[in-house]
Amino acid sequence: MSTPRATLGELERLMIQAAAWAAEADRLLERAGVGPGWAIADLGCGPAGILAEASRRVGPAGQVVGVEAAPDRAIAARLGAAAAGLPNVIVRIGDAARTELPAGSFDLAHARFLTQEVDCDQLLTEMVRLVRPGGLIALEEPGDLPWEIDPEPAGYRRIEPLVRARFLARPTAAGSALVARCRRDLSVLDAREVRLELAGGDQYAATPRHALAAAAPALLAAGSADAATLRRADRALRAAARDRAVRHRSFSVVQILARAA
């Protein structure tokens, strides 16, 4: 029996995700007071990250350095920066938790949705190392609030917790641990939980369907759901993602802005 399959490539999915969260990221930079001449590191930037938002705020006198471990994502980020005319953006291929960038060379270090890919303690240690004394740390990680759809698709109430457990449980727990360490070791200036309000037809409204496709093999293997149930859920989520009368409220994201010692 066939099961739901992802319809987007990973690069395209990450580009859509970055575009969806761009306004919230820009507001985070605004709260940080980012301005002309700043140097910003965007760790684990993927094919877009916050490179464009940071570039616009720091201006020609500033610099934005993206670090991405996956070569295809890093190349996409370089091409995107060049196409957008962002000469103050540099993208390096490297480990977000071990960047090998000079210590104390940035005013702000940012990371988003990295807790599933790197060790949280190593990531925060590296971010603190990269910023100047009194520099800023900006983190964005999944919160506890689930993706909501109104009207709710048939079967969503049963499937959503299963998908979230497979897809977001670990990064959410790791993100919570990262936030706790920030509160313990750094001076937290601002902490808030944000969500996006979307209508069907928005590309990002297909996120629950892509999450289902990613989680489906594990759900089948664990016996948490059968193929027929997953196919029905996939059809319902596809319809909800396309219907402009359907309202979506994204999973929450915790944003932390903290000052290093």
Number of domains in the chain: 1
Mean pLDDT of 190-204: 96
Instruction: Please report the pLDDT score of residue 7 as a whole number.
Output: 46
Instruction: Please report the pLDDT score of residue 168 as a whole number.
Output: 67
Which CATH number does the domain housing residue 194 bear? Answer: 3.40.50.150
Tell me, yes or no, whether 35 lies in a domain: yes
Q: Above pLDDT 90, what percent of the chain?
A: 79
Instruction: Please report the pLDDT score of residue 172 as a whole number.
Output: 67
Tell me, yes or no, whether 2 lies in a domain: no
pLDDT at 79 over 70: yes
Question: Is pLDDT larger for residue 232 or for residue 119?
Answer: 232
Tell me, yes or no, whether 43 lies in a domain: yes
DSSP letters spanning 178-245: HHHHHHHHSEEEEEEEE--EEETTSGGGGHHHHHHHHHHHHHHHHTSS-HHHHHHHHHHHHHHHH-TT
* pLDDT band with cut points at 50, 70 and 90 for residue 121: confident
Mean pLDDT of 8-13: 85
Give dist(CA 128, CA 136) in Å, integer: 8
Instruction: Please report the pLDDT score of residue 145 as a whole number.
Output: 87
pTM of the model: 0.92
pLDDT at 2 over 90: no
Kindly report the average pLDDT of the chain as a whole number: 92
Instruction: Say which residue the tokens 């990371």 belong to.
Output: 111
Q: 131-181, pLDDT tens digit by residue? A: 999 999 999 988 888 999 999 998 899 999 988 887 666 666 777 777 788
Between helices 156-167 and 169-185, what is the axis angle to 10°?
A: 60
Tell me, yes or no, whether 4 lies in a domain: no
Tell me, yes or no, whether 5 lies in a domain: no
Tell me, yes or no, whether 144 lies in a domain: yes
Domain range for 235? 10-259
Instruction: Please report the pLDDT score of residue 181 as a whole number.
Output: 85
Tell me, yes or no, whether 207 lies in a domain: yes
Tell me, yes or no, whether 3 lies in a domain: no
How would you classify residue 184: left for phi > 0, otherwise alpha for psi between -120 and 50, otherwise beta? alpha
Instruction: Please report the pLDDT score of residue 12 as a whole number.
Output: 94
* pLDDT band with cut points at 50, 70 and 90 for residue 6: very low
Q: 246-255, pLDDT tens digit by residue? A: 999 999 999 9
Mean pLDDT of 40-47: 97
